[in-house]
Amino acid sequence: MLGSGVLVLLVGLLGTQPSSQWVYQADLLIVGGTESGCAAAVQAARMGIRRIVLVNDTWWLGGQFSSQALGAIDENRGPEGYGHGVPFPRSGMFAEVIGAIERLNLRKYGKARPGNTRVITTCRPRDAAEVFEQFVHPAVESGQLLILGPAEPAEAVVSGQRLLGVRFRRLEHLPGKPLPQSHMKIPPQRFLVRAGVTIDASDWGDVIRLSGARFDCGPDLRSKYGEPLAPISHELYPPTDMNPLTYCLVLEQTDQEQIIPAPPGYQPQRYENHPYPRSARFLYTSRRLIDGSDPRVRHPDVILLCFPLMDYPLDVLPASVAQALERTEPGASRKNIARLTRKQRLIIYQDAKHHSLGFLHWVQSQHARRPPKQYSLVRFRLSREFDTPDHLPHKPYLRESLRLVAMYMLKQQDTTGVGGRAVNFARAMFPDAVACWQFEYDFHPTGRRFLRSGDPSGPWQGYLKPLRRWGPPYSGRSQFPARSLIPERIQGLLGAPKNLGYSAVVASAVRLHDQSMAIGQAAGAVAAVALREQKPLRAIPWDRQLLAQVWHALCRRGKPSEVPAVLWPFRDLEPEHEAFVAVNQLAVRHVFPLKADEVDFRPEENATVSWRQAVLERIRRVKQLKKLPPVPDHLRTRGEFARWLWSQVALVPERPFPKRQKPQDADGDGVPDGRDPLPFTPGQSSWPQGHLHLPPG
């Protein structure tokens, strides 16, 4: 049961193990202060969960925004590409954080969007870390959230098939230091957090791995899911092949020419004759976090270096790295990085740092000899904002993790736009959808090619393998199902932000800043409903009443500072629109008769009699309605009608999903639930011809 007295329960010493281990009792444990982990914590706190513990492994909160230094904020993007906005409006906690970042930018630099990149909003990593401290502040101030760290998971406490808690060890001698306004409390050297639900929002899914939950990593072959972009064999795609990691570099403009020293193992051949980046001008102008040439900006240039030439492939490692790994454990160099220990990963990280620093040294050396001077990086130095001895971020930018084997594995076929057109809705729009997304299936160079007749001790370059490259193709306007957060067998555990139930192909498209926050927010809501209702997580996707609580929590009008989250990816409906909540709540229940290309809701359009009748017929399939009052005569538009209808039915109980036909096949159509994206729609696994299928009822 949830209760009060949260401060005593969270920070007090509740008991000791024989090893004098501290024990914290929580309702919800979140492992990882990533953007996803922070969103989960804030969402659960807003839903009244009283005892939340978040354990982070660095001094900063915010993940990709901050510790990983990806200050050019990647967002959902459709086939229109860069410079054309987003495929559906910013919403939810991502919109809240972006709003805070833009206000901070305006105050500090004179412009809300001071950068000049191919994305919409930029931020300095330290600024982002400050914003995330402010973001979690209300939950900390209320006594609901305790943040501990830096620490890492050491052991999962499991009884049968249930995760009961996680043992941690404190991390010592980390680079950097906490922010002055940090909410993080330094824990004992070893401690245990017991919790009703745990969300693994860590970089590498370490709790999933330690818990014994099934997971995948590396490529999925085409024979597994039948995905067009999946490789046929492991010949070119070993189990170690993953989206590469990258040590981002943040540079500050100075008034002196300076070239950083060559790092250990520097090999200029790595960077020569490489097409990405294409030119000095492209390098200088495409990733400016702050564009000092803008007269409205009160700050010199700040540039983010994050280019494919800096990517660090993981399929085969340089000889020196492989040898260092083998000294820790025989066979370690042939393991996927997600299966390695923290100590082993740090060996890889160090070489990735040297690779990025080598790129900067090479570029500055080239610029010193060859103009044009206006695009030179010689008058730049590594930013001091990370407070690290080498001036590098606390972590590399990570594009891929392990993949949880979940109740449902999201596949490329589910996410493809209807008719093969990315501008349309995806082929599978789920009855248990909890987040929306769209992006290209985006692999950076996953292959490492050694330039001296395959000599692994010599220089190398990354390369794009067939099928594993950046887009197109793009996904359609897609949703993420609750089932893909929940392990198939371990209870009390949820995945986030990249530790999810999807294929390697889909993982390449679901990894951006906004997607990670939306999925973290959804995980927090699912966890909160399970805790409040004392229901197993696995029950939620099969229970409309429980799903309705998740949807209400994600998409509602709360405090003025809170932004409702999108549940259905309509292109034209902003969260500020008065019909936004009603339309999203009705749409996620499949109440509107839609065609796959009706990506605009058109709230100001006339609501025809036939359209109203179709909506009313469908609402009776999902709500336990006795009768509705007559539709008021003054309602003219679709938005007005949606608002009126939702006001009538929001509190009406949901009609249960159809009775289960078979233990592992809810709709009895011969497709097991674990492979059926639409488990309540017999004979249908995707959007049918014509209109969206009727809601199950």
Is 83's pLDDT higher than 80? no
Tell me what pLDDT residue 559 has: 94
- Residue that has been written with the tokens 């990086």 in this structure: 377
Of residues 686, 688, 681, 691, the one with CA closest to residue 610: 691
**Quick one: residue 465, left, alpha or beta (phi over 0 = left, psi -120 to 50 = alpha)?**
beta
Task: Quick: pLDDT tens for 583-604.
Answer: 999 999 999 999 999 999 999 9
For 613-664, write each residue's pLDDT tens digit: 999 999 999 999 989 999 999 999 999 999 999 999 999 999 999 999 999 9
Q: How many CB atoms are located within 10 Å of the residue 246 CB? A: 25
What is the predicted pLDDT for the residue at 372? 67
Nearest alpha-carbon partner for 608 in 587, 571, 578, 635: 635
Cα separation of 215 and 614, whole Å?
A: 43
Look at residues 55, 61, 39, 28 and name the one whose alpha carbon lies nearest to residue 144. 28
Q: Hey, which residues does 491 pair with through a beta bridge?
A: 162
Residue range 539-547: average pLDDT? 98
Give the per-residue pLDDT at 3. Answer: 36
Rounded alpha-carbon distances, angstroms, from residue 246 to 306, 400, 678: 7, 11, 37
Which is higher by pLDDT, 501 or 85? Answer: 501
Say whether pLDDT at 14 is over 60. Answer: no
pLDDT bin (cut points 50, 70, 90) of residue 367 is confident
Instruction: Specify the pLDDT at position 282.
Output: 86
Write down the pLDDT at residue 279: 80
Residues near 637 by Cβ (< 8 Å), separated by ≥ 6?
603, 604, 605, 606, 607
